[in-house]
């Protein structure tokens, strides 16, 4: 357990360096700090004693796929669709973990009421702009948003504090990323810009580790 908390602290420290690098446009630092943060998070997930071994396996798979997605999206010459696909698979692994842990019908209703409207409101212009540049990309982005929304909804439906925080932050991070890339690309500071994307993303991943430790706490 002590190793797990140490790795969480390390992940947070590296994440802060990454946030600074993004804010100061230090790409060489960002390219090291962002993936290294996920490496520390993966280490923490493996170091803690989880409430379910099967759930941990799925979350670790999701974290590894997220790390792959991070690396692909950082390299300008690599296709955006590759990173999108890696994160889509990561969300599918997370969905499997959430379903394995169990969800509550009541919390599912709360999640639907809280999440579906805002996700449609933000997702529609993102998909429309993506479709304008490439019809196939529009389909891929639409499918991704559907999977992302399902993950966020099921995270809320667990009724677990850390799972809810993780799911909501991940949805927020990807919504900010999509909005900045497709809708307001000319304004990099819109809604906090890339710094907000990285902060919400890293905190979401750490919150999933928190869920592994605390379990289902309805």
Model pLDDT for residues 59-104, shown as the tens digit of each residue: 999 999 999 999 999 988 888 899 999 999 999 999 999 999 999 9
What phi and psi, each to the nearest 5 degrees, are found at residue 158?
-70, -25
The residue-averaged pLDDT of 104-129 equals 93
- CA dist., res. 214 & res. 18, Å (int): 27
The residue-averaged pLDDT of 21-45 equals 96
Residue appearing with tokens 């497709």: 182
If one counts every other C-beta atom within 10 angstroms of the C-beta of residue 171, the result is: 26
Q: Where are the domains of the chain?
A: 52-214
Mean of pLDDT over the chain:
92
Range with the lowest mean pLDDT among 1-5, 42-46, 155-159? 1-5
Secondary structure letter of residue 191 according to DSSP: G
Residue 215 has pLDDT above 80, yes or no: no
Collect all residues with Cβ–Cβ distance below 8 Å to 92 and sequence separation of at least 6. Answer: 147
């Amino acid at each position: 357990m002590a190793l797990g908390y140490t790795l969480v602290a390390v992940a947070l420290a590296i994440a802060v360096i990454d946030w600074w690098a993004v804010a100061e446009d230090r790409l060489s630092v960002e390219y090291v700090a962002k993936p290294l943060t996920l490496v520390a998070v993966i280490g923490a997930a493996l170091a803690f004693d989880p409430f379910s071994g099967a759930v941990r396996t799925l979350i670790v798979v999701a974290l590894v796929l997220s790390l792959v997605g991070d690396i692909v999206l950082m390299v300008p010459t690599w296709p955006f669709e590759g990173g999108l696909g890696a994160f889509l698979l990561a969300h599918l692994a997370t969905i499997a973990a959430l379903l394995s842990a169990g969800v509550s019908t009541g919390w599912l209703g709360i999640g639907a009421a809280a999440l579906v409207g805002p996700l449609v409101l933000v997702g529609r212009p993102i998909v429309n702009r993506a479709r304008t540049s490439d019809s196939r990309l529009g389909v891929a982005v639409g499918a991704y948003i559907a999977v992302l929304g399902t993950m966020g909804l099921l995270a809320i439906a667990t009724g677990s504090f850390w799972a809810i925080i993780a799911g909501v932050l991940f949805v927020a991070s990807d919504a900010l990323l999509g909005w900045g890339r497709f809708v307001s690309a000319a304004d990099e500071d819109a809604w906090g810009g890339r710094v907000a994307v990285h902060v919400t993303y890293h905190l979401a991943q750490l919150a999933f580790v928190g869920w592994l430790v605390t379990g289902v706490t309805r």
